[in-house]
Amino acid sequence: MPDTEKRKRTWLRVIIDIVLVLAIIGLVYLRSLVAGKEYFFISYAPFSSTVRIGDNYYKNNAYNYIEPGEYDLIVEHDHFATVIDHIVVPNEFNSVYGALEPTDDEGDRIAAAAASDYQQVGKGSASESSPKLGYEIDQYLPIQNSLYKIAGNLEDGDELHYSINIEAGDVYIDSAVKKLFSFIDKDPAISAYDIRLINYENPFTERDYVTFTEDPAEYIKNTYSSVMNDGEYVFADTVKSGRNIGVVMCSNKNTGSNTLYKTSRIIIKRDGDNWIISSSPYPIVTKASYPDLPTTFLNRVNLVNCGV
């Protein structure tokens, strides 16, 4: 082999070795920079705000390496009121969220243009705090397949409101409800949530005011005669707790070799010679519709299934 070729290979090996050594040195240096520091997420709307602790600036809406300790975090933006939040690093979720308020018309314009930043901060803050608020089910959601979708939803308002939304065709709602109640041992109980069926058309909208009958199933049949008298729905079971009776009704639809069920549930209360109806029949009964009833009873009614 010619000497020139040997020299080329020798230099190539030397260059490769130098690059590897520099890479190792760089890695060691980077590790030394973050050694003992916490990987801490900071997010303040609008995301164009500057974030600093003393004279050290940090990235907004991003993870940063910060030494453990207590700090005054300062968030600034022209046309917005400066925010100073006292933070502890680390904390339970290794994160901090916040939002700046505009102080003039230009600030209002910037805030409107950054509306998605504020929404993201709100959702992120709620997501981090949800275990504190008791939304244990949220760690299992969303659930989605070809038949249905079950997802948690946190709404802003005077106070945070967490609901569970179900999207499914009528004949697959039972399957979705049964899946949701497979998490019945979670805290709080599934029936404690505000559970909504998206795009569901409730057939039990017209109610007749009828005379009292002792049999709760018969009373429901007479009250919702426009649905019950056509024979589509039949009674499946009743669940009793004191003066409260849960009535479960089933409808079925044959599709080839399969029978797909639709279930509606209602709870009525005995009051002397009268039945009190506080909510129309619906595929699921929850605290949102029956706030005075215990979740243990609501769960019992929801666990009565029509063949799925």
Same domain for 207 and 97: no
What average pLDDT does range 12-38 have in this prediction? 67
> Which range is most confident: 117-121, 182-186, 214-218?
214-218
Residue ending a domain, choose from 133, 150, 170:
133
pLDDT bracket for residue 46 (50, 70, 90): very high
Phi, psi of 26 (to 5 degrees): -60, -40
Q: Is residue 210 part of a domain?
A: yes
Q: Of 174, 155, 152, 166, which is closest to residue 248 (Cα–Cα)?
A: 174
Sheet of 62-66: strands edge to edge?
62-66, 38-45, 95-99
pLDDT by residue (tens digit) across 277-304?
Answer: 888 899 999 888 888 888 888 888 988 8
Whether residues 190 and 240 share a domain: the answer is: yes
Instruction: Give 255's pLDDT tier (boundaries 50, 70, 90).
Output: very low
The whole-number average pLDDT for the span 96-102 is 84
- Tell me: do 187 and 296 sit in the same domain: yes
Based on the domain organization, do 93 and 47 belong to the same domain? yes
- On the question of pLDDT at 31 being above 50, the answer is yes
Same domain, 283 and 183: yes
Three-class SS of residue 222?
A: helix
How many domains are contained in the chain? Answer: 3
Residues 11 and 65 in one domain: no
| Structural domain ending residue among the three candidates 133, 160, 189 | 133
Alpha-carbon dihedral sign for residues 54, 60, 65, 66: positive
My answer on whether 249 and 200 are in the same domain is yes
Q: Given pLDDT bands bounded at 50, 70 and 90, which one contains residue 257?
A: very low
Residue 132: band (very low, low, confident or very high) from pLDDT cuts 50, 70, 90: very low
pLDDT at 258: 47
- Any idea what DSSP says for residue 100? P
Co-location of 192 and 284 in the same domain: yes
Q: pLDDT per residue over 49-77, tens digit each?
A: 999 998 999 999 998 989 889 999 999 99
Domain extent at residue 258? 178-302
Contact 84, 76 (CB under 8 A): no
Q: Is there a single domain that holds both residue 271 and residue 292?
A: yes
User: Do 30 and 87 belong to one domain?
Assistant: no
Q: Does 47 map to a domain?
A: yes
For residue 134, CA distances in Å to 115, 179, 186, 196, 301 come to 28, 20, 10, 19, 23
User: Six-digit token pair at 55?
Assistant: 């004279």
Task: Tell me the percentage of the chain whose pLDDT exceeds 90.
Answer: 10
CB atoms within 10 A of CB 91: 12
pLDDT at 52: 95
Q: Could you read off the pLDDT of 143-201 as tens digits, one per residue?
A: 877 678 888 877 765 556 778 889 888 777 888 888 888 887 776 778 888 888 998 88
SS (H, E, C) 252-306: EEEECCEEEEEEEEEEEEECCCCEEECCCCECCCCCCCCCCCCHHHHHHHHCCCC
